[in-house]
Amino acid sequence: MDYQVRRSCVLVASALLPILAAAASAATGAGMFGFTPEQAGAQQTLESRFDAELNAGEMRGWLKTLSSEPNQWDVANDYIGVTAAALSGYCDRLDRATRVLKGS
């Protein structure tokens, strides 16, 4: 088989694979990948509660903070430290929100 034919076969196979996987999942009635039906319901509830806690204004503020200066990645610029501090604060709040949602 020459290169062009092999390449075409691989392209067609890789295009069909996700379609076949989705069809098989729908045919078996599988809910969420990696979860049993009982776990899927609990996971969807947890994700819904988490999504409800997201605040568009806060996200907008974080994006403004992180994009307020040029992204200069050099030692002379304190951008890395400022960005790390901002992300650390965001991650701490996200961690607290996650623990509250999980009830721990």
- pLDDT of 73: 60
Where is pLDDT greater, at 87 or 55?
55
Place 99 in a pLDDT band, splitting at 50, 70 and 90.
confident
DSSP string, the chain: --HHHHHHHHHHHHHHHHHHHHHHHHHHT--STTS-HHHHHHHHHHHHHHHHH--HHHHHHHHHHHTSS----STT-THHHHHHHHHHHHHHHHHHHHHHHHT-
Place 26 in a pLDDT band, splitting at 50, 70 and 90.
low
Query: 43 is written with which tokens?
Result: 């996971």
Question: What pTM was estimated for this model as a whole?
Answer: 0.39
Rg from Cα positions in the chain: 23
- The residue type of 101 is L
Query: 97 is written with which tokens?
Result: 């929100």
66-89 mean pLDDT: 69
Question: Per this entry, what is the length of the chain?
Answer: 104
